[in-house]
A and B are shown apart, each in its own frame.
Chain A
Amino acid sequence: MQSNPRFQYHQAATRRHFFQQSGLGFGAIALHSLLKGNTCSAAEATDSPSDQPAYRMPAKAKSVIYLHMAGSPSQIDLFEHKPELTRFHGQDCPQQYLEGKRFAFIKGTPKMLGPVFSYQQYGQSGQWISELLPEFANVVDDVCVIRSMHTDQFNHAPAQLLLHTGNNLLGSPAIGSWITYGLGSENEDLPGFVVLASGGKTPSAGKSLWGSGFLPTLYQGVQCRTDGDPILYLSDPDGMSRQARRKTLDALRDLNERQHARIGDPETITRIAQFELAFRMQMSVPEVMDLSRESQQTLDLYGAKPGYVSQAESSGDPRPGYRGDDATFANNCLLARRLVESGVRFVQLYDWGWDHHGSSPGESIDETLPIKCRQIDKAIAALIVDLKQRGLFDSTLIVWGGEFGRTPMMQNNNNTELVPGFIGRDHHPYAFTMWMAGAGIKPGAHGKTDEIGYYIGEDPVNIRSLQATILHLMGLNPKTFHYTYQGLNQRLIGPTDDGQVLESILT
């Protein structure tokens, strides 16, 4: 069919027709590459040089793997070596830190809570890393730790939305949607923006975190699942064999072609192509999601287990069931590498269960944080090592972090004394740690907090600058890349000048 000249003519006509119909301007060109799955950039796809989208720039990264620890891990117990905080441990928090502040749960005067775990310096860079991340510590020279992140949201859902969609309210497109809208996909048989979740729950803000907002729904993130159909509706109904599906699709195509001969609507040709793509996805998606194709060595590197289905995924409340040996996150890291290898632009991982308030079992710093760290530590280190081995590290941007930080004080709504299994910290938007690695990132450290890790001391980084940096590395100018909606040129980084590319962490 591909060689039929009439088909090709119409296919070309269809594309043009389709972008015009969707009325999307430059985005339509991206749509073109997403739909047709070819590797040409938006600029190449246009007819004349004057059509070149102004927002395209040379890119350092081809794809992004974003590892989001939903609930927000404690930077104080993982990255922030604060001997001074240890000195104040158990004392009342000075009033100057509390006046005019709102916390999610802390009331009155809480006690200071020193780092619960011990620190050591690692690597050439001599970065302080907690004992909870021994494997990550081995690759710390490959990452840039940003210790001076801050946000203006202190509840999970709005903070997650601000981080991933640029707006603390619902309804704006996710970074992955923006990027696939701007760049298209590199693989015609896979979606350009894939989401993988672990930890038993979706993040607080739900599927809005990978929604396409005001962009066409084509750009929404596609959640690939490790339990059930990897992509929704991918499996044929029980009893319909592969051959039967092929035969029905052949009949469907023949009838649709007759329809096209009668009516001449190019949209019909597009639909024929989409049914064929759906059929190919039924093969390609399970293939890319099949971890058993990896060598035992690679599986061991990540701690991945093919076919593993976590109990946490099916239980109503996964927290009490957290075990160190849950392999879902490790599997997802390995899947992320497979997806990136297959040309997926943006792979978003969410791991739920990092909200360690200490107010109920399964969410404490002293008991649960080590368990969650065991689930991610090896896999994250493996991801970096594996990407390097395969020569993908230089073209893949890895981002790790939560939606905010945790307080240097203990949370005191349930306990005023330290009770084992109930040691927790509240939400802390004023300073937290994230790290980036891979394409275009200069390893090292950026920013500092004060002596007790409460406020930022040097080089603050706001959420918009993080977003600007990600877009910049992907070859999209964060300031000019926009979509016109409700009379505004909407940008991921919002209308203000707050978002600045973090030049100093770039190679």
Chain B
Amino acid sequence: MVPANAVLKVRMTFPYKNHLIINAFRMSVSNKSPDLLGPEIDPQGTLRDRFVKTIHPATRAINEQLKRLQDQLADLRKEIPDTPIMRELPADRKRETHVHLRGNFLDQAKEIVQPRIPVAFSTEHPLDAEETEQPIDRAAVARWLCSDNNPLTARVMVNRVWARLFGMGIVETEEDFGSQGTYPSHPQLLDWLAVDYRRNGWSLKSLLKSIVLSATYRQTAAVDEVRLRKDPRNRWLSRGPRFRLSAETVRDQALASSGLLTDRIGGPSVFPPQPPGIWKSTYSDLKWNDADGADRYRRGVYTFLKRTSPHPAMLAFDAGSGEVCQIRRIRTNTPMQSLVTLNDKAFFEAAGALAAKMVASSERLEDQIIHGFRRVLIRKPDAAEIERLVQLYQAVDEDLVDEQLLSSAGVQQGDSAMIAVANVILNLDETLMKP
């Protein structure tokens, strides 16, 4: 509202080149309610709209509130991640697919192929759609994948779960059940598990339960010379599983047992410390800035993965770079791994945190060591183990530079000899291996 006797100044700007000046226009002033701004003055309703939104006090306040809420809603919507959904192309836009000669995608044969399941599968277990003459599309393949006709899906899945638990699948080449793969060590067991899995409505939980509660899984991993000779790779399951943890769990375990782990689920990837100067990529200004606070200690799966420069600690423990699909990681045992668990910041800061927990647990040195052992290995050390670590605790102190060591372990104050002891506990073979 313009107060009485106010001076109205109208300034007109023409943001055009000089040959585009408006040369005939009309200007009106009114003291009537904006409701009376009729269509002949404001045909688009824009003046009225602006008046309502920005000038008229009562409607302005409501509008501002509305805008705030709308912004809030938009922010909330942004938090929901997008889920890309694959859709079948309409029939007239379907892609022509050619045979790739010798697997070379640049060398295509003239012949166009139609969607079908490879003959090797479909002679024994045909696509349902083929029999019913329905369109063979993604949905048909999806139905075929888990139809009773097709035992392969359940076998493959069961085998992968088995491999995660035992370190090796019943079919060792998890990625290849074909002619180039290895034979199953226990074919009947594989089939029984597969059928049972399907019968239980594809319940992973019941599958896991039946495996981990089995007598086979619960055997001790200890082995004597005879069994080592007769079953060196535990192919015949003569003992319980024992193998090194995966790259991610090596990290997660150190963080969890020392109490550092941030157990938040989901969200964008994080940048835990890595040695400086790793990311020197061409054509990219992305920088790796070591995370502080909670994001420093997230689970390994949340570590940012750039294919051309993966996190070096992950790479050392056989995690792939993500360049190709990797169904099975071949485990190696290298000095690079030793250097990571001894010296990487994540592991040394875990040692710092574990040592602090050990010191706080008791007045007695022996009990402190027992506490650390139990946190990491979930068992009490025997007398000799305690004695060896007590001995280390007493002997190592003179060779440590306290202030520097505490800073390396990411703590303000603490017992540096205990950090060295914690570093040892976190590097034990028993720590890095399952069980």
Contact = CB atoms under 8 A, between A and B. Distances in A.
A5 interface: no
Contacts of B333: 18, 267, 270-271, 274
Contacts, number: 232
A202 B309 CA distance: 10
Nearest to A266: B228
A492 to B, nearest CB: 15
Interface stretch (A89-97, A252-260, A329-337): A252-260
17 contacts: A17-B233, A23-B330, A203-B282, A206-B281, A211-B323, A231-B336, A233-B343, A233-B344, A237-B405, A237-B409, A255-B385, A255-B428, A259-B429, A265-B433, A267-B244, A316-B285, A495-B103
Contacts of A238: 401, 404-405, 407-408
B180 interface: yes
B404 A239 contact: yes
Contact of B400 (A220, A241, A250): A241
B343 A236 contact: yes
A435 B355 CA distance: 57
A227 B277 contact: yes
A454 interface: no
Given A213-B324, A238-B405, A264 B224 contact: yes
B312 A232 contact: yes
Given A208-B308, A233-B339, A234-B343, 5 more contacts: A18-B333, A228-B276, A233-B343, A264-B228, A271-B338
Interface in B275-319: 275-278, 280-283, 285, 306-310, 312-313, 315-316, 318
Interface string A45-60: 0000000000000000
B275 A217 contact: no
Interface residues of B, number: 89
Contacts of A260: 429
Contacts of B154: none
A452 B221 CA distance: 71
B188 interface: no
A24 B55 CA distance: 78
Contacts of B74: none
Given A237-B348, A259-B429, A495-B103, A278 B392 contact: no
A247 B324 contact: no
Given A251-B391, A495-B104, A207 B310 contact: yes
Interface stretch (A288-296, A341-349, A437-445, A483-491): A483-491
Interface in A156-213: 156, 170-171, 197, 200-208, 211, 213
Interface of B: 102-104, 172-173, 175-176, 178-180, 182, 221-225, 228, 232-233, 242-244, 275-278, 280-283, 285, 306-310, 312-313, 315-316, 318, 320-321, 323-324, 330-340, 342-344, 348, 384-385, 388-389, 391-392, 395-396, 399-409, 416, 420, 423-424, 427-430, 432-433
A496 interface: yes
A419 interface: no
A267 B331 CA distance: 11
B308 A216 contact: no
A274 B280 contact: no
B275 A206 contact: no
A239 B408 contact: yes
A239 B388 contact: no
Contacts of A217: 315-316, 318, 320, 330, 332
A17 B242 CA distance: 13
A241 B223 contact: no
Contacts of B408: 237-240
B399 A244 contact: yes
B232 A16 contact: yes
A377 B282 CA distance: 24
A139 to B, nearest CB: 31
A268 interface: yes
A415 interface: no
B277 A225 contact: yes
A254 B102 CA distance: 54
A390 interface: no
B392 A251 contact: yes
A243 B280 CA distance: 35
A237 B281 contact: no
A313 B396 contact: no
A265 B277 contact: no
Nearest to B428: A255
Nearest to B315: A217
A251 B424 contact: yes
Given A248-B424, A313-B277, A275 B338 contact: yes
Nearest to A71: B282
Given A204-B282, A252-B427, A17 B232 contact: yes
B232 A20 contact: yes
B432 A271 contact: yes
Nearest to A209: B308
Given A214-B324, A216-B318, A278 B223 contact: no
Q: Find the residue from A22, A225, A252 having the highest chain B CB count within 10 A.
A: A252
B339 A231 contact: yes
